[in-house]
Chain A
Amino acid sequence: MPTPILICDDSAFARKQMIRALPKSWDVEVSQASNGEEALEIIRAGKAEVTFLDLTMPVMDGYETLSIIHSEDLPTMVIVVSGDIQPEAMQRVKKLGAMEFIRKPITSEKAKETLVTYGIVQEGEI
């Protein structure tokens, strides 16, 4: 069965870059959101085992989204993918329960490395 994943970024271009960076052979069902509110809806519907989350977004930004995921203990693993690479940004998202922080623009090497490190995909699988 495909893994349900969510890509949340206000930029359609960034979402496209993200999808392109994922391992080609990884069997996924991709949902997309352009802000935190949309993302939470998809996560609550159980359609996001893994969430790739941007930080700088209108309506609801990544920090607020993360803190709601954290406080409501929503069932998703969050990987932050952001252009905001300040040390403070990384510390804050880790504190809010993000599993990993990836700096933009994401590369396929980095995506694979992260997915393997956290056991989301097996090395031989992809």
Chain B
Amino acid sequence: MTSQALDLNEEYRDIYQELVNVAMGRAADLLARLLDTYIILPVPKVNLLARTELAMTLAALDKNDRVSAVCQGFSGDRISGEALLLLTDATFPDLAHLLGSESTGSRGNELELLMDTANVLIGACLKGFAEQIDVEFAQSLPEVLGQHRKVDGLFDQPAIPWEQALAIEVTYRLENKESTFELLLLFTSESIEILNNKINFLLEE
């Protein structure tokens, strides 16, 4: 599919934003209960983008920030894509502190924090999104893209091959902390038409 074929009008953009608003709220609720804190929710950002633009769109991240990232593919009802979770290095001490764990700094422990956070946020957000459009997604196993590295080059090997995608970006912040969590839902260009049809159904109901 060529980039010209991809188009996202204002009405659909608004609906994707709202569907993710509800989904990310559920995900944040789970994590907030786990960490016993309040998570500040953003207005989700919806964009069509090329894979090459991905690193650039992670607006909340400083170019020099070191991050750890997990990706997880999902598919169902001819819709497919991948979810990404990025945590900046500053996040791990905050997470460990909130969970009352003392042994910060070890890579193994941080890997566990990364995977646990990804499980909660990605799982709940995908489920919340899928429920609203009445589909079910199967998730592939989560994969670590890297630990403590720059964003550049992080996305060179996708879980699902795609060139263009509908990207929905959510930047969670822990209240009174510097930590941010970047959650991205990427839907392949082939999925967009099917998603739009599901949305048309929502509009008619």
Contact = CB atoms under 8 A, between A and B. Distances in A.
B11 A12 contact: yes
Contact of B39 (A12, A14, A86): A86
A46 interface: no
Nearest to B31: A86
B28 A13 contact: no
A: interface residue count bin? 20 to 34
Interface stretch (A37-45, A67-75, A77-85): A77-85
A82 B28 CA distance: 13
A35 B106 CA distance: 44
B29 interface: yes
A112 interface: no
B29 A11 contact: no
Nearest to A58: B43
A56 B158 CA distance: 31
Interface in B25-62: 25-26, 28-29, 32-33, 37-39, 41-43
Given A56-B43, A82-B25, A88 B18 contact: no
B: interface residue count bin? 20 to 34
A84 B23 CA distance: 9
B14 interface: yes
Given A11-B21, A83-B22, A104-B21, A89 B38 contact: yes
A83 B26 CA distance: 7
Interface in B153-183: none
A96 interface: no
B130 interface: no
B32 A83 contact: no
Nearest to A14: B18
Nearest to B21: A83
A13 B15 contact: yes
Given A58-B43, A105-B132, A86 B32 contact: yes
Interface string B95-120: 00000000000000000000000000
B24 interface: yes
A83 B20 CA distance: 9
Nearest to B39: A86
Contacts of A85: 25-26, 29
B38 A88 contact: yes
A54 to B, nearest CB: 9
A55 B43 CA distance: 10
Interface of A: 10-14, 55-58, 82-89, 103-105
Given A11-B18, A14-B21, A82-B25, 19 more contacts: A12-B14, A13-B14, A13-B15, A13-B203, A14-B18, A56-B25, A56-B41, A83-B22, A83-B25, A83-B41, A84-B25, A84-B29, A85-B25, A86-B25, A86-B29, A87-B29, A87-B33, A88-B38, A104-B21
9 contacts: A11-B15, A83-B23, A83-B41, A84-B25, A87-B33, A89-B38, A103-B25, A104-B22, A105-B22
Which are the 5 A-B pairs with shortest beta-carbon distances?
A83-B25, A11-B18, A88-B38, A83-B22, A86-B32
